[in-house]
Amino acid sequence: MSTPRPPRAIVLLGAQRFDPTLGAAAAELGLDGPIATITAGWQEREGEDSDLHEHLGKRTINLRLHRRADEAFRADPELHAAHRKKQERLRHKQDFYRIRLEHELDANHVIRQRKAPPEILAEEEAASIGAIRLLDEYHLGQCAKVESEFDAAWRPFERDSIARHRHEIAEILRDTVAIAIAGGHVATLLNRLRLFGIAELIDGQVVLAWAAGAMAISDRVVLFHDSPPQGPGASEVLDRGLALCSGVVPLPHPETRLRLDDAERVALMARRFAPARCLAMPAGARITYRDGRFGSPHRVLRLSIDGTRAPVQPTDDLLPEEWA
């Protein structure tokens, strides 16, 4: 068996719901063969993909990861129970992480309001950001631990219930030129991608991903909303992503979810996740990752540690952020 090849290119896109640009991106890349689609983020509505099918020229094959997971769990109740338990552990971890995070963010806010000699303020604020970054890292580590313990104990890829589907998926992918990963519920999507080891089944196809899809294939998934109904929003890391493209934090729907004119929030986001670059991806946005580099940006905004945001230019080489 030959070693699978990494994606030929990865295209991150903004939301596709009202003004899809996916077809144009596929055309520009010369993708003229079948395209596998992943709509597991739509959960029970996974199969309602006729618009996507039409948009991509009726050449899509939905991998139906959500339905496959349901089938696998029905066939393998032991695995299902263990998986539920793992998810419950992750929820607890998220809950405790959130409690600590709220306090760290409050501390950062208080420090920013203090009057003190500038050099002391800068040091203390950097220490506060450092504490938030440490907490984020700790949480990601905890998630990884829970996942690896589950994998080691249950070896899901070796169980018939999962292996059968992985085999089928690999067969489907063999004839495809691209994989299109739609948005939706990012935790569900990430969960299904991981359950079937999709990252390991890619064999040179182009990956097109938007909204939650783009988030799930980056290094880490950052949940965010600056104006939720329950008060000022606090961004939080959910888990590691598939890390198909490295060094960026895709932020879809900035039009409704981010207060980009709030310099304090923008700066905090940029510093917290540096050296990764926070990229706001409004509808119509697009950027391509190839050979370890990002290029061909269109309507993508980069958040900077000074609290500003600016369109990524084709000549930008998207150097890592320096946070401290």
Question: Which residues lie near other proteins (CB under 8 A)?
Answer: 15, 17, 41, 44, 95, 99, 182-188, 211-212, 215, 223-225, 228-231, 233, 236, 238, 252-253
How many Cα atoms sit within 13 Å of 104 on the Cβ side? Answer: 22
Torsion angles phi and psi, residue 271, rounded to 5: -75, -35
Measured CA distances, 15 to 54, 73, 252, 256, 291 (Å): 17, 31, 7, 12, 25
Element (H, E) at 238: strand 236-240
**Minimum CB distance to other proteins, residue 150 (Å):** 20
Tokens of 210: 């938007």
State which residue, 173 or 187, has the beta carbon closest to other proteins: 187
**131, two tokens:** 């504490």
Q: How far is the CB of 171 from other proteins (least distance, A)?
A: 29
Minimum distance of other proteins from residue 255's CB (angstroms):
12
Q: Between residues 176 and 235, which has the closer beta carbon with respect to other proteins?
A: 235
**Comparison of 129 and 215: residue with beta carbon closer to other proteins:** 215
Instruction: Tell me whether residue 224 or residue 294 sits nearer to other proteins (CB atom).
Output: 224
Residues 222/238, Cβ–Cβ less than 8 Å: yes
Structure tokens at 307: 């609290």
Instruction: Give the residue with the Cβ less far from other proteins, 177 or 211.
Output: 211
Contacts of 71 (CB under 8 A, 6+ apart): 165
Q: How far is the CB of 97 from other proteins (least distance, A)?
A: 13
Cβ of residue 238: shortest distance to other proteins, in angstroms? 8
Q: Which is nearer to other proteins, 173 or 238 (CB)?
A: 238
Least Cβ distance, residue 52 to other proteins (angstroms): 12
Distance CA 246, CA 271 (A): 17
